[in-house]
Chain A
């Protein structure tokens, strides 16, 4: 019970310290800040309820990221089913008035899902490879390979444009 209570405290600390980063990544996934906030709240609530399933095999933060991630992906699927979302990244770009058909943003949007999520976690959440691995439920080496593949794809796109 003591460990359970201390995890609650840790999760609360994480929430208070990193809410903005969670909201940012969730918004990138869901495509709408209000829906993203709901996903973050729901994700943390699930993390609290399921805290005993955290076995301490990686950083707690990575595990919470995974739970919030899944909540965001569920929210995104729900929005897609209601046709409220076209492509979250492009939608955001459009809303911010920064649409450019050929650009890093469009290329990030075109990355395979795992690469895209890894990019979000690396650059929006500033997570290290170990935490990203825990969040994506993959090995650290896979994170490295995934981010390398994303970089390669983006570099290729850039080089094509510069040619």
Chain B
């Protein structure tokens, strides 16, 4: 049990030492209160008639309406939603956020404060489908959010003022959900206007919903219409400051994936063949019409991964990782032709050497390497001359990476193999 009181006292002291009292000015308080020297409020009678007060009330009402309704639309007063005044989330939503903390590799947990989840707003698609936006702060200073069936977590990033061009620099967090919904968040408070630009359709300005700290970000949602789709669809989301200067632009998300990316489009399936087997896992390849090979990684009857990449797109000597299921853990990697062997090192100091076949290595970890103390900790790629070209480390404590007979509770009502 930690006694937090001394910590709070010392941290708050560092944060904000007791200020000096040089500004204290009691006479200023008295003046502001409208008191005379004797401490009495001077009375003024009959100054405002009932009619005058009614008129004044109407004027104030009109001003309030302008401030709250018209001005935000004109971008004069940015509306800021008070986060903690928003509707708290029900248990099942809190549970969803709790799950985000569970089972993440060490240092990767978003550390979301699920109990503080709030319903920030509810967006709607053109067809009426509702997208409630739930947001929760994280202990890292960022936030996690879900809307509809998607969401994510955002780390706090400093506001970015970038030069014009196709760039982002952390200013816009943009996601594409389904084929028509664009949604995300911005941090940079210099952003006064967010635009969706289309190939042929007119540019659209998307409202930003600014949410107060601890979230301190602006959210947006836009459902692309069929007409806009027919006219070539969106080509960029652009953030502008109040003077119209471009601060950030995200365009890559709208560019079609290159043809070489998709095995269904470029693989010569008549030449597909298995090159590696290890346990129940296998890797098959087929030549791609755009150069290099496409690959298919399988375990038993199930696919684990697939892809195509011309050799020039592999920039590192070894790119791989662990794949795991309820009864297997497989190491696989794609390696450059210069790699002569890959050495797997385990916690118990045993080693396994893999020889690449057509640029791939594959190893199904036996049950003896599932328990803690025996797990994979490193993969090292060597050239044929024995020079170390690359190394990749693995966290043996990662929850859920290895099968087990007795999963244990890991929080939020979930269980996983330790």
Contacts and interface: CB of A to CB of B under 8 A. Distances in A.
A117 B9 CA distance: 14
B32 A158 contact: no
B19 A20 contact: yes
A158 to B, nearest CB: 5
Contacts of B30: 45, 48
Contacts of A151: 4-5, 8
B116 A110 contact: yes
A48 B2 contact: no
Contacts of B111: 102, 160
Interface string A1-45: 000110011001001100111011001100001000100011011
Contacts of A9: 39
B8 A158 contact: no
Nearest to A15: B26
Q: Is the interface of B mostly helix, strand, loop or mixed?
A: loop
Interface in B1-39: 1-2, 4-5, 7-9, 11-12, 14-16, 18-21, 23-26, 28-30, 32-35, 38-39
Interface stretch (B136-144, B386-394, B400-408): B136-144
Contacts of A85: 213
A141 B48 CA distance: 45
Given A45-B32, A48-B29, A20 B18 contact: yes
A147 B111 CA distance: 22
B139 A104 contact: no
16 contacts: A5-B40, A15-B26, A15-B29, A16-B26, A20-B19, A27-B16, A45-B30, A49-B35, A49-B41, A86-B189, A88-B213, A92-B15, A93-B15, A105-B15, A124-B12, A158-B4
Given A103-B11, A104-B8, A80 B212 contact: yes
A19 B21 contact: yes
B298 to A, nearest CB: 38
B113 interface: yes
Given A19-B24, A102-B139, A155-B1, A110 B19 contact: no
Interface stretch (B77-85, B176-184, B256-264, B323-331): B77-85
Interface size class, chain A: 35 or more
Contacts of A96: 14-16
A160 B39 CA distance: 54
B78 A81 contact: yes
A24 B18 contact: yes
A112 interface: yes
B214 A105 contact: no
